[in-house]
Amino acid sequence: MLDSVTNYLYERRTRFVRSAGVAGGLYLVGQYASARVADMRDGVLEQRVTREKYVQLAQTSPSSFPVNSAQHAQAIPAEYARHLVHGHDLHALA
């Protein structure tokens, strides 16, 4: 009985190896895709938090808002800085 199982596996070993290779490849592709989706999600969440903090800062203290300060220019996201430079209303962006 053990010989018949051994012979069956030996005769079909190339199929088993191919199947294992395909399954392993699909697993790796799935892991890579899930990691990329997680990175994209984290980036979007980080941008949203930055935007919300920026809008909240502009709404709470518009008189002390660092629009023209060179030291705070790096803290302003590029999409908002572009609108501020061209005279657009910040509240219209929110």
Domain residue ranges in the chain: 2-93
- 90: tokens are 């910040």
**Residue 6, CA distances (Å) to 15, 37, 45, 73 in order:** 15, 43, 54, 72
Whether the pLDDT of residue 71 is over 70: the answer is no
Whether the pLDDT of residue 20 is over 80: the answer is yes
Residues 78, 46 contacting (CB under 8 angstroms): no
25-51 pLDDT, tens digit each: 999 999 999 999 999 999 999 999 998
In whole angstroms, what is the distance from residue 76 CA to residue 22 CA? 48
